[in-house]
Amino acid sequence: MRGWLPWLKAAVWLGGLAPLAWLGWRVADADLGPNPVQTLEYFTGRWALRLLLVTLAMTPLRLAVGRPQPIQLRRLLGLWAYAYMCVHFSIYLTFDLEFSPAKLADDLVKRAFITAGFTCWLLLLPLAITSTQGWQRRLKRRWRVLHRLIYFAAGAAVLHYGWGVKKDRSWPLLYATVLAALLLLRLPWKRWSRAILRAQTIT
């Protein structure tokens, strides 16, 4: 199973690059529909969210399979998710705002869904910077505490999606349900049930 890791990493690289290549193809083909900017934002935003959820799925998966490989893939997946977020944010800054800091400030104040998306992006920035082993060693226990920001960032991302859509909220609701399930799976249920059993046998 250990020998699988390079293959799994190659699959993650492929999984991260393939949607971008697909998008590049559509851009080159001028096949982005009647609202190209929106198409670009939707595409990159959805992939950012999907990859963020896949990153969060790695810990429950490790518990399910009892192997370390999912954890060894987590950093790469998280960085891919962040790369999509940066592309998504850049498209908005370039085409919606034309690089205007004043327009950004205005949107952050007036549009709650932009505030939520930006919060997610900002919360994940220190995680992306400190994702290396060097930072992990330097920060020790604080690294783990810092990296818990991912839960809040994921919540903000789902809110951004839910508040951003105008009509049918079924997709954001589905993503919110998946996120809730992933967070519930991370809770130390076994430790708690053992503690309850111990307390019951004492009393």
Binding site for ligand HEM (CB under 6 A): 38, 41-42, 45-46, 48-49, 52, 85, 88-89, 92, 96, 114, 117-118, 120-121, 157, 160-161, 164-165
Q: Which is nearer to ligand HEM, 113 or 135 (CB)?
A: 113
> What is the smallest separation between the CB atom of 22 and ligand HEM, expressed in angstroms?
16
Give me the amino acid identity at 32.
L
> What is the smallest separation between the CB atom of 193 and ligand HEM, expressed in angstroms?
33
Q: Which is nearer to ligand HEM, 48 or 127 (CB)?
A: 48
CA 159: distance to chain centroid? 13
> What is the smallest separation between the CB atom of 19 and ligand HEM, expressed in angstroms?
13
Give me the amino acid identity at 170.
S
The answer to whether the beta carbons of residues 58 and 77 sit under 8 Å apart is yes
The answer to whether the beta carbons of residues 91 and 83 sit under 8 Å apart is no
Q: Which is nearer to ligand HEM, 41 or 77 (CB)?
A: 41
> What is the smallest separation between the CB atom of 148 and ligand HEM, expressed in angstroms?
17
Can you tell me the distance from the alpha carbon of 175 to that of 178, in angstroms, rounded to the nearest whole number? 5
Please report how many Cα atoms fall inside a 13 Å half-sphere around the Cα of residue 21, on the Cβ side. Answer: 6
The answer to whether the beta carbons of residues 175 and 53 sit under 8 Å apart is yes
Q: Which is nearer to ligand HEM, 86 or 139 (CB)?
A: 86
Burial class (CB in 10 A: 0-12, 13-18, 19+), 121: buried
Nearest to 82 by CA among 140, 180, 149, 7: 149
Q: Which is nearer to ligand HEM, 27 or 112 (CB)?
A: 112
> What is the smallest separation between the CB atom of 145 and ligand HEM, expressed in angstroms?
21
Nearest-CB residue to ligand HEM?
A: 45
